[in-house]
Amino acid sequence: MVNLNPEKLPRHVAVIMDGNGRWAKQRGLSRIKGHHKGADAVRDVVKTTRELGIPWLTLYAFSEENWKRSAFEVKTLMELLERFLKEELHEMLEHKIRLQCVGRISRLPQRTREALEVSIEKTKDNTAMTLTLALSYGGRQELTDAARAVGALIAAGRLSPDDISEQTISRYLYTYPMPDPDLLIRTGGEYRVSNFLLWQIAYTELYVTSIFWPDFGKSDYLAALENYQQRERRFGAVFD
């Protein structure tokens, strides 16, 4: 029985949704089938996050590295995303969910980008929860883009290198002005961060489960949150 303290829920949960392919392989199905089941798991985790009142959820839906997959898998994932956005728009509007995305979105196919732009625009004033999809996202790319932006300010004489602070860097990340994640969940059992939110997870609690993403259900999510609540977060300080 999961026992959650509503006072100690994370404000921002980030998820590396891994294991769609292995879930499918185990069942003798195509990887695509795994992604379809993965999209159902996305619906469930969004619903639970909303019901719990957690205001920020960020999902790693497509990494910069994922472009290296077969053209067929990339195309199918993009179409799946487009369909998901169109099908879920009604739910997002009904439950006051704001959609946004982080990543090099210009690389996405036009139809996916358009579906994304429509959902972002229509949900932009929603305040119950923010769902952020990381798409064509890479943490190093994000930091590189931030370095370019800061460099351009210096070149224009609008910033002195001595005035660069952590806040300056944060300001030019794709995630600005989101709070940093409190909890990062990774499914599929690998102990890696895979270029996800590298700057933002400096003090984030990590939770790895061997469950493959399509099987990650409400009870598994609640177990992760319960585990998070048992951690003592010190942010590098000492508390006696």
Q: Does 213 bind ligand FPP (CB under 6 A)?
A: yes
Binds ligand FPP (CB under 6 A): choice among 15, 18, 115, 183: 18
Q: Does 170 bind ligand FPP (CB under 6 A)?
A: no
User: Closer to ligand FPP at the Cβ: 22 or 47?
Assistant: 22
Active site residues: 18, 66
Residues in the chain: 240
Mask 75-94, x = binds ligand FPP (CB under 6 A)?
Answer: -----xx--x----------
User: Closer to ligand FPP at the Cβ: 56 or 146?
Assistant: 56
Q: Does 46 bind ligand FPP (CB under 6 A)?
A: no
Name, in order, each residue with C-beta under 8 angstroms of 139's C-beta and a sequence gap of 6 or more: 193, 195, 196, 197, 198, 199
Binds ligand FPP (CB under 6 A): choice among 9, 13, 46, 61: 61
User: Closer to ligand FPP at the Cβ: 129 or 146?
Assistant: 129
Q: Does 55 bind ligand FPP (CB under 6 A)?
A: no
User: Closer to ligand FPP at the Cβ: 17 or 97?
Assistant: 17
Q: CA-CA distances (angstroms) from residue 35 to 6, 26, 41, 156, 215?
A: 32, 14, 10, 46, 11
Q: Does 188 bind ligand FPP (CB under 6 A)?
A: yes
Neighbours of 169 (CB within 10 A): 16
Dihedral pair phi/psi, residue 104, rounded to 5°? -90, 75
Separation CA 139–CA 181 (nearest Å):
14
Q: Does 20 bind ligand FPP (CB under 6 A)?
A: yes
| Token pair for 84 | 């998901």
129-137 vs 97-102, strand pairing mode: parallel
Q: Does 221 bind ligand FPP (CB under 6 A)?
A: no
Q: Are the C-beta atoms of 55 and 129 separated by less than 8 Å?
A: yes
| Token pair for 103 | 């990543």
User: Closer to ligand FPP at the Cβ: 21 or 181?
Assistant: 21
Cα–chain center distance at 99: 11
Neighbours of 1 (CB within 10 A): 4
User: Which positions touch ligand FPP (CB under 6 A)?
Assistant: 17-22, 35, 38-39, 42, 59, 61-62, 66, 80-81, 84, 133, 188, 213
